[in-house]
Every structure is written in C-alpha cells, then in structure tokens.
Structure 1
Amino acid sequence: MTAESQHGSLSFGPWDGAVDAQLLDTVRRSVLAQAGPVTDLQVAAAVRESGRLLGAAGSLIAMERITAELNGLGPLQGLTKDPEVTDIFVNAPESVWLDRGSGPERVAVRFAGESELRALAVRLVASGGRRLDESSPCVDVKIASGYRIHAVLPPISATGTLLSIRIKRRTILTLAQMVNAGSMGPVFAQVLESVMTHRLNFLISGATGAGKTTLLSALLGLCPPRERLVLIEDAAELEPDHPHVVTMEARHENAEGAGAVDLAELVRQALRMNPGRLIVGECRGREVRELLMAMNTGHSGGGGTIHANSARDVPARLAALGALAAMSPEAVFLQGASALDVVIHLALIDGRRVVAEIAVVELRHGRLDVIPALTLSDNLPGANGASMGVRIAQGPGWPPLAKRLGLAGLLETPSGQGMP
C-alpha cells in the first residue's frame, strides 16, 4: 500500500498480496494456542506449518503483517516507520489519517471492515490493562510499545469505532536544535535559558500538537545535574536529558471503578519527595490548586503545560480549572500572581511549531493579567537560525523581565530595532 500526500510518497508494504484472512486466522490460532508472549520465531514457524508456498519474500511479508496483527497496530503498523509521524487517526475502516506536524493527511490504508477495526481497538486497549466494551465505550490508555491509545465505540461514536494513536518518539531536542529547525529565534532561546537559570516558575501554553511537551523536555534538559526533577503526568511523555528524573504517572480506575490515582494526589505526594523542581506535564484539572500552592511555598523553577489559544487566555483557563478544585476566580488570580512568573506560548503557523510569545504574569485590579514581553512578528525564523526578516516586538512586560534576567541590553542594536 502507498500513501500519497503533499510531502511525498510513503510505502507501507504489499501485505494484501501475501496474506489473506484465512492464513491470518490460521497463524493467529496456532500462535495464540502457545503459552507466553508472541515471538517472531513462533510466527515464522506457524507460517511455515500453514503449508502455503509464499517464497522468501512472501514469507517475510506474511510475518510482518501477522506480527503487526498480533502485537502491533495491524494495518496501521507501516505508518509508524516514518519518524515524522506523531499521530494516527482512524475515523472509519476506509478513513485513515496521520499527522507529521503540519496537520492531518489522508493515507491509502484500509481496514477490511468495522469488525476488524473494532477488534484492533479492543486488543490495543486490553494490552494496556483496560477494557473497551459497551460498559466502557471511551478509553484512553498508554501501552508498553510506546503508543497512547484513545478509542471510542458506538453509539457514543455515531459513525463506528474511532481510534486515535499518539506515537511516542524518543528524539530529545535541545534549544539549539530547535533554533536550527526554525522553531524559535536565537533571542527566544537565550531568554528561555535564562528563565531556567533564574528558576522562574512558568507555564507553556498552546493548542494540541503545538509542541508543548517537546519544548518542556528541552527546557528541563537545561537544569543543573544536581537538581532532582519530579515529573507528574497523566501519561508519561516527558524524557528530559537529565540524570536525576523521577516520573509519576496517574492511574485510571479499574473495571470496578476503584483504584484511581489522579494528578492532584500525585502533586501532593511529590511535595514529600523533596523535589528540586516540580513539573506537571499538563494542567487539566483540579491539580492546578496543588501546583499553585506548591509554587507559593518555596518550590521555585517549576511549571508545566496548559491548553490555551493564546498567552492572554491563560488566566481564564486557570480560572476554569480552579473551579474544578472549588477555587473562586479571585483565589486563582491571587495564587497565580504570586506563583507564576512567565507564560511561554507556542503556535502552529503555516504548518510549523514556533515559540510565538513570552509574557510575564501580574495581578492588576484584582485580576490575573498576562503582559506581553516578546512577541514574534513578521516572518517566521528560518532553518539553521536564519532570520528571514523576523522581528521581535517588545511589549510592556519586557523591561521588568529583562531586568530580572539580567538581559536588559539583549535587544539593543545601533538602529534601535529588535533583532531576531
């Protein structure tokens, strides 16, 4: 099969010519009848014992397809070979999409029918220790192979089984690499490095897929080796290049509705672990109360990510999350003003993930306000750090931030204009 897109052509292997439903079922039954995990040797033996004359190439194709059906993502497995693919979406048996950072692209991968798609979703969820059925039709789970699976069954989904797969890539980027890739200008990188050095508390905002986790990992990699990083996540995704990292992951309730451990509880536990920096991978619920309280009690240099359309929308988002923890907006604003120092906003512009703004947090007239310090304007940063005419607009938040970071002369040029 092949998938054509604006980025070129991807080849995922001519599986259908070598593997039919009968062979797949025969090998599956043979392998699953044996105890223990499925191995390549067991699959090869089962293919050989099936009596099919496939030849060397056909046998390899059959093994690849059958192994994917038993242990991997089935017909979707070939899509993961492209290292740029971060997400796979299945809206229907004949509607499969992927995302390589520039938005969804439709690909020429098909399921035989709804039953095959549903069987794959059920198997993937089961491999993560959860159950997907009529009593639990919506499930989000991380499985051992590094995929984060979200599945929805009818009638919650009006069109059939929905399957979303996020692929955990182990590539760890540095700020320098992000500058070279055009994700930020050198000035932004210098300011962010200084933010980490001076242990300012921060939130990284942006929409889904804007690169918040990637940037957070890069920033944590700047922390001194002697610091102990305690990471709190709903699903472990952060992998900072740092020698002392402790990660705690939330646990969903079991089939009996018990055993859940949420992020709020994990933040409370983390405070007893002497964290050098406390990081919440994504603030999405009542854990925001514990995080703000921690930042207000001497835990500096901490932060996390939050979904928001812009930096200015962060206070409203915090107020909404605080309501889940029975906090009034006034309480959220007071806590946030003393807890947070900086908001770093990411945006997806023309298919590119970029650092679009750095802002400071202040309390004004009883409300939490985000004051722009540096904002990306005009063109985007180019590859290898080239400016391409980019200018950084200075906002009213820049003078106090620059003074605090010791960067007061950073944007001064003979012409008096901000440089990239």
Structure 2
Amino acid sequence: MSGILKDLQKKSKHRLNTASQLLIQRNSNQQEESDEVRVETISSSLGDKEKLAAEVNSHRRQQTRFPATTRAVKFVKSRQPSQLNVAKKSSLLSSDIPAWVGQLPKSSPHVDQLVPEARYALNDLITEHTTHEELPNLIVKSVNIAAQRLSSGTRFSQSDIEGAISELTGLILGKGPLQPLYDDPAVTDIYLDAHDSIKCVRKGVALETPFRFRSPEEYEAYIASMLQRVERVLNVSSPIVDCVLDDEYRSRVNAIHSSLLDRPESAVVIRVPRLQHITFFDLIQTRTLPPQVAAWLAELMSVGEANVLVVGATGSGKTVFTTALLSAVGSDERICTIEDVPEIFVPTAHLEKLVSRPENAQGKGAVEMHQLLRAALRRAPHRIVVGEIRDKEGPLFLKALETGHRGSVATIHARSSKEGLWRLLDVVAAYENSPEHSIQRRISRSVNIVICMERIDGAPCMVDISEVRPPVEGEFIVTQLVRFEFEDEEKKRYWRITSRHSEWVERLAQRGIELIPGDYLLPHDPTSEH
C-alpha cells in the first residue's frame, strides 16, 4: 500500500462538493491531450463504500460522457495521512529493530569441515616466538594444510578455501560471530552463555541473537584467544578474569570458568563502550530531560562553580548524562577524566583521559583509579571527572573539590539523591579516621547538585535534580528542584518544578537563565512539595 500511496497526486486546493469528485478529477495542470488517471486517497470520513458507489453512479448519470482524456479508474482506499505516520513509527522496519535480526551464519558444509581442522593445524604452527604480524600468513597455511588432510574424502573449491580463511581470521584476529553485534552502535553488552547461546542488550533491552559458534571447542578457543591478547588466562587456577581488551572499542570483559558454573561451558560478559560525543540536544531527542532543564544545566556547567554528583543504578544512563554535562564546558578549560573504561568523550582539545589498568597474568602491573586521581591532582586541571566512585577514589575526589577544582563531576551507584550522599560518606569514612559528622559537613559544602537517573519504560530518564543544603542533626538535607512526574500513553514525559527558591536557581536567574514552565515541564505546585 505504501508503494501506491507514495505516487498519489495532491488534491486540488479547491473545495470539492461530492465524494465522486474527490475520487475522480481531471488534472488541470496537464495538457488537453494527456491521458491521465487520478487516484485519490478516500478518507474514512467520507462514508461507507456502498454510499460512495451510489454517489459515483449518480455522478456518472449526470454526465453525458467523461472527457476524452479520462479512462477507467481503479479506486484505492487507504488510511489517512495521520494514520500512515503512526503506522510508519511502529513499523518493523524502523531503527528499533536491529538489521541482524533473522540473519543466519553464512557458511557451507565444506567450510564447516575446514575451519575446525585448520584451527588444529594452526595450533601446531604457532610457537612462543610467533608475532601478531605472522598470524595472517599462518592462517592461510593452516587452511591449505587442512584442505590437503581432508582431500581424500572431499573436494574443496577455491571459494571454500577463501571462506575458511576469512572465518578463521575472524575467529583469531577479529570478533568472529560477534562482529555484527559490535557493528551495531545500539548494542552495549554482549553475553556469551554457551557456544550456541549468544545474547545482547540493545537500547536497554535484552535480546536473543541468531549467532553461534560451531562447537564448544571453537567457543572455548575463541575465549582463550581473546584473553591471550591481553595476557590473561581463564582456567581452574584462574577461574575469574576481569580485563579490558586492547581493541578499538576498549571492550570490558568479565569471564567465568565452567568450573564455577552449572554447565560445562565458560560464560563471558562483554561491555562495549560506544564512543559518542553526547550533547544536551541528544538527551532532549531521547526524552531524557526537558529542554528548559537542559538549558539550565548547560548554564550551570558553563559557569563552572557547582560540583555535580550523578547517581543511579547500573545502566540508568549516568555516564551518558555526565558526557552531556561536560559538553557545556568552555573550550578554554582543561578537563581530566579518570575511568575504568574510556566512555566519556568531550569534543575539546583540553581533554586528558586517564584509564585504569588491571593486573596481568602474573598479578602485577595494575594501576587503580585512586592512583590516577592522585596523579591528576598534580596535573593542574580545571575540572576533574571520576567515572565512578567505588573505593579509595572517594576521599581523593572529596579533597579535589575542597582544593578548588570547581565544576567537577562524579558518578556513584545509588537510587536517590540522599542515598548517593550517604554512599559517598560511607566510601570516604572507610579510608579516613574522621568523625562522621565532620565528613558529612565536608560533603555538604563540596557537592552542590545531585542528579538522579533511572530507567523509565526501558529508557534513561532524569528523575530528580536536588540542591545540597547544610546537614541538620546528622541528616543530609536536599532541596528538590525538578522531579519526573509521569509518561503518558504517547510516550511523552513530563517533569515538574518543585522549588522556586534555592541558592543555585537564584544564582542562574541573575545570569538570565530561569527554570520556566513550558512543554513537558509543569509549573511549581506548592501542594505537591515533598
């Protein structure tokens, strides 16, 4: 239907009196001798088909004959344009459905014979002195050896040989059957549960995939090869491996040996950071926050006086939101980020990224985030960004805020603003011999704004912005500025201004930036204050 509707002509601007004239009319823009058929979309508001047919027949009887330029017309009924738009949005062909759905591994029985045999031959060819640059030639050689070994029972074509070389190269040097998932920018996590069970998380939704390995042996060999590139080994003596791959994605890998599982195959989780330059415009497009709040936060970050703590559960969008916050920082300020996995990318020349390093197979060479943070304090950045506060970096980050690194940002796992502050206090108290009330006062002075993230209907959403106030009787005090209200049936989200008076609201108001109600941002309601 869409192919037919795409070619329909626009209706005349003149008002038509009858339904038949809506269906058949002459195109006044064409010359007299043109032989043209006009097919119009019938609006459902015109009535049922029997009445339409009667009206058409009446129109025909009133005419002595149709113009010579008109011939038989086939009537086509379709949905109205508004209905078409709705259908288009929910189409299975939309970007919400990955391109790899329904794909099957492209192989042949002969290639399936060659690849396992070639893998065995390759193991015999590789020595401890083999370099990465020599592997492509060794792969070609191993496939030829495998073809010779199996030639007595099977004849292999040149296409089979080339297919086996390509697949074995992907398994040894590339991503193997995982490549389509890496190529999909919406896939953030890949789960290898078994050789024939590969799953992923795409746009926050867990999905099955059609990809698989040929056998458990090929699956375990792939895992071993992947970990060997970063000098890690997965076996009974080292049953848990946590590392970062040295690939273009800087994939974070957590592997568990089968000896710790209830099944005979190892399991791997791969987190794929998507290196994107996120701005507030992107968050507005994805309904993460309303435009008025985005403008207010952009000015807050541009001023560079407020320290921000972003809290939320795993996968709630903390890192993406932090990246958007930093996109508002001026290009004349130097930013230093400290992360486990490089995920925060800001389009500025004055960006220095420090990435922690796990220990090697010998248990040496690890560099932790608190060590990087200590080094960052000596590198004179204007702002410091900690990808996630979990351990010893907590006290150092608090000291960085106290020593004048205004406009800094950190993330921490928590479910609410107050819980995030208490979580930070617990981390700091674990490594400092200071009274709790003293640490509490320091945190309240140093952290100014807390932003809480949450997943609503599977998509990230900013659910709370709060201003930190001085503690009272051992309790953290926060003033909520904006909160998420609801999401309607059309997936439109609404927030509400919850406070008209606060230090930072008034500061920005003096600079001409105010939280003004509008589309998706409801006005302050005194009766609904918490």
TM-score (norm. length: structure 2): 0.69
- Aligned residue for 1:36? 131
- Aligned residue for 2:284? 179
Give per-residue Cα distances to partners, 1:223-242, cap 9 Å, x unaligned: 21221111111222222111
Give per-residue Cα distances to partners, 1:92-115, cap 9 Å, x unaligned: 333321011232112233344544
Task: Give the secondary structure class of the aligned counterpart of 1:165.
Answer: strand
Residues 25 and 413 of structure 1: CA distance in aligned 2, closer, same or farther (over 3 Å): closer
- Aligned residue for 2:105? 13
Residues 374 and 112 of structure 1: CA distance in aligned 2, closer, same or farther (over 3 Å): same
Task: Give the secondary structure class of the aligned counterpart of 2:374.
Answer: helix
Residues 348 and 390 of structure 1: CA distance in aligned 2, closer, same or farther (over 3 Å): closer
Which sits farther off after the overlay, 359-368 or 109-118? 109-118
Q: Distance in 2 between matches of 1:37 and 1:193?
A: 46
Superposed, 1:99-248 pairs within 5 Å as 99-145=201-247, 146=249, 147-159=251-263, 160-199=265-304, 200-248=306-354
Q: 1:344 aligns with which of 451, 454, 460?
A: 451
Q: Distance in 1 between matches of 2:217 and 2:420?
A: 43
Give the aligned CA root-mean-square deviation in angstroms.
3.1
Q: 2:497 aligns with which of 375, 394, 404?
A: 394
- Aligned residue for 2:441? 334
The structure in which a higher percent of residues are strand is 1
- Aligned residue for 1:367? 475
Give per-residue Cα distances to partners, 1:305-334, cap 9 Å, x unaligned: 111223332123213322432455434422
TM-score (norm. length: structure 1): 0.86
Q: Distance in 2 between matches of 1:249 and 1:268?
A: 13
Amino acid at match of 1:11: Q
* Pairwise CA distance, 1:74: 3.0
Q: Are 2:188 and 2:271, in contact at CA under 8 Å, matched by a contact in 1?
A: yes
Residues 397 and 118 of structure 1: CA distance in aligned 2, closer, same or farther (over 3 Å): farther
- The answer on 1:280 being equivalent to 2:386 is yes
Residues 49 and 134 of structure 1: CA distance in aligned 2, closer, same or farther (over 3 Å): closer
Which sits farther off after the overlay, 261-270 or 373-382? 373-382
Q: Distance in 2 between matches of 1:16 and 1:148?
A: 33
Residues 15 and 170 of structure 1: CA distance in aligned 2, closer, same or farther (over 3 Å): farther
* Pairwise CA distance, 1:121: 2.5
Q: Distance in 2 between matches of 1:106 and 1:413?
A: 41
Amino acid at match of 1:355: M
- Aligned residue for 2:22? none
- Aligned residue for 2:374? 268
Which sits farther off after the overlay, 145-154 or 309-318? 309-318
Give per-residue Cα distances to partners, 1:261-285, cap 9 Å, x unaligned: 2211221111110011111111111
Q: Structure 2 unaligned runs (5+)?
A: 1-95, 148-154, 525-530
Q: Distance in 2 between matches of 1:27 and 1:92?
A: 19
Residues 36 and 317 of structure 1: CA distance in aligned 2, closer, same or farther (over 3 Å): same
Amino acid at match of 2:260: I
- The answer on 1:252 being equivalent to 2:358 is yes
Q: Distance in 1 between matches of 2:369 and 2:500?
A: 32
Q: Are 1:361 and 1:369, in contact at CA under 8 Å, matched by a contact in 2?
A: yes
- The answer on 1:378 being equivalent to 2:486 is yes
Give per-residue Cα distances to partners, 1:353-385, cap 9 Å, x unaligned: 222221112232133234321112122798xxx
Q: Are 1:128 and 1:143, in contact at CA under 8 Å, matched by a contact in 2?
A: yes
Q: Distance in 1 between matches of 2:366 and 2:492?
A: 51
- The answer on 1:354 being equivalent to 2:458 is no
Amino acid at match of 2:495: I
Greater C-alpha Rg? 2
* Pairwise CA distance, 1:137: 1.8
The alignment of Structure 1 onto Structure 2 pairs a total of residues equal to 408
Amino acid at match of 1:375: R
Amino acid at match of 1:193: A
Q: Distance in 2 between matches of 1:24 and 1:356?
A: 52
Amino acid at match of 2:419: D
Q: Are 1:206 and 1:309, in contact at CA under 8 Å, matched by a contact in 2?
A: yes
Q: Distance in 1 between matches of 2:110 and 2:117?
A: 14
Residues 360 and 114 of structure 1: CA distance in aligned 2, closer, same or farther (over 3 Å): farther
Residues 23 and 95 of structure 1: CA distance in aligned 2, closer, same or farther (over 3 Å): closer
Select the structure with the greater relative contact order (CA < 8 A; seq sep ≥ 6): 1
Q: Are 2:287 and 2:493, in contact at CA under 8 Å, matched by a contact in 1?
A: no
Q: Distance in 1 between matches of 2:341 and 2:321?
A: 17
Q: Structure 1 unaligned runs (5+)?
A: 1-5, 383-387
Give per-residue Cα distances to partners, 1:126-168, cap 9 Å, x unaligned: 2123333333222221112122111111433343422001112
Q: Distance in 1 between matches of 2:242 and 2:522?
A: 48
Identity value in percent: 27
Which sits farther off after the overlay, 151-160 or 275-284? 151-160
Superposed, 1:8-87 pairs within 5 Å as 9-11=101-103, 13-15=105-107, 17=109, 19-20=111-112, 22-26=114-118, 29-30=121-122, 33=126, 35-37=130-132, 43=139, 47=143, 51=147, 53-56=156-159, 58=160, 61-87=163-189
Q: Are 1:195 and 1:405, in contact at CA under 8 Å, matched by a contact in 2?
A: yes
Q: Are 1:28 and 1:66, in contact at CA under 8 Å, matched by a contact in 2?
A: no
Residues 49 and 116 of structure 1: CA distance in aligned 2, closer, same or farther (over 3 Å): closer
Q: Are 1:359 and 1:397, in contact at CA under 8 Å, matched by a contact in 2?
A: no
Q: Are 2:481 and 2:497, in contact at CA under 8 Å, matched by a contact in 1?
A: yes
Residues 290 and 99 of structure 1: CA distance in aligned 2, closer, same or farther (over 3 Å): same
Task: Give the secondary structure class of the aligned counterpart of 1:189.
Answer: helix
* Pairwise CA distance, 1:397: 7.8
Amino acid at match of 2:183: K
